[in-house]
Amino acid sequence: MRRDLDVNDVLLDPVRHNSWATRRLVAFCRDLGLAQERLTIAGVGTFGGILATLNHVIRSDASYLHALLGRHPAWLEDDGDTDLEGLAKWAAETEKLWEELLAKPIDVHRVIVVDGGANEVRTGIFLAQALNHANHHRAQVCAILTGLGVQPPDIQAWEYAWATGRLWVRTGK
- What structural domains and CATH numbers belong to the chain? 7-164 (1.20.120.450)
What is the predicted pLDDT for the residue at 115? 92
What whole-number distance in Å separates Cα of residue 85 and Cα of residue 96? 17
What whole-number distance in Å separates Cα of residue 120 and Cα of residue 110? 10
Under a CB-based contact definition with an 8 Å cutoff, are residues 26 and 54 in contact?
A: yes
Q: What is the mean pLDDT of the chain?
A: 92
Rounded to the nearest 10 degrees, how much is the dihedral formed by the CA atoms of 29, 54, 137, 112?
150
What whole-number distance in Å separates Cα of residue 168 and Cα of residue 69? 34
Q: Considering only 32-36, 135-139, 158-162, which range has the smallest mean pLDDT?
A: 32-36
Q: Could you report the per-residue pLDDT of 23-49, keeping only the tens digit for each?
A: 999 999 999 988 888 888 888 889 999
φ/ψ of residue 6, rounded to 5: -100, 175
